[in-house]
Amino acid sequence: MSAGFLTDPLLMEWEVEHGFGLRGSSEPEGLARPRQVHGIAVARADAQGEVQPSEADAVWTDAPGRAVGVLTADCVPILMGVRGGVRVAAVHAGWKGLAHGVIAAGLSALRGSANEAVRAAIGPHVGPCCYEVDAPVLGPLRKRFGADLEVALVPAGPDHARVDLGALARWALESAGLPPHAIGTEAVDCTRCDADRFHSYRRDGARAGRLLHFVRAGNRPEAALDSPQGPA
């Protein structure tokens, strides 16, 4: 499944086709993605691949066989799905998106009114080893995460700290109702540290490429019923 991409066992167990991109990963067939603007809008991709609204940082679909995706170059990609991939979503979470709640917005759109069990996987992004920020970033994050932000920080001088974006993404998912065992981290790695596999804006600046991450809705709507039962 998903040759040329990283995958997470939690989504694979639920037969959710997905992949976290590497350098040179090819765009999957039938991909739909929005124009990302570091906001919190959530788009829906229909069976024809039309994305509405066109500008968003999370996108979901329930169109069988349709793939949705996001691009990153250090930000956090999150791929989500219900059992069998009947509905799936991809989220792009930079610090601005994290500060404003893009992860919760994407999860809410994916669940809709059904409130079904969801699994989510976090992909490669810049790690706390390489992501130092200052007060203009720390302020909005502190407003969103409160005291929980402190456990994701390593002080690095006056009004400076290194931030663990992945820890904040996990906190956001848990705060939105996902239990820890439903959050996969197998594909987490630092994009800045590994130039062989990943593009990184922090490392390469404006010449940095982008990593493509995708998740595909299941071809059979009944897949959720066919899949073996297990913990959410």
The pLDDT averaged over each successive group of 10 residues in the chain (232 residues) is 85 97 95 96 97 98 97 98 96 97 97 87 97 96 94 91 97 96 98 97 95 92 43 44
Rounded to a whole number, what is the distance in angstroms from the first to the last CA of the chain? 22
180, two tokens:
């820890």
5, two tokens:
């991409």
Question: What's the fold here for domain 5-218?
Answer: CNF1/YfiH-like putative cysteine hydrolases (3.60.140)
Q: Compute the distance between CA of residue 66 and CA of residue 215 in angstroms, rounded to an integer.
A: 9
Q: Compute the distance between CA of residue 157 and CA of residue 107 in angstroms, rounded to an integer.
A: 35
Beta bridge partners of 59: 43, 90
Q: Which amino acid is it at 139?
A: G
pTM across the whole model? 0.93
Give the pLDDT of residue 220: 58
Give the pLDDT of residue 230: 41
Burial 192-216 (b: 16+ CB within 10 A, else e): bbeeebbbbbbbeeeebeebbbbbb
Contact 169, 122 (CB under 8 A): yes
Strand 160-163 and strand 132-134: pairing?
A: antiparallel
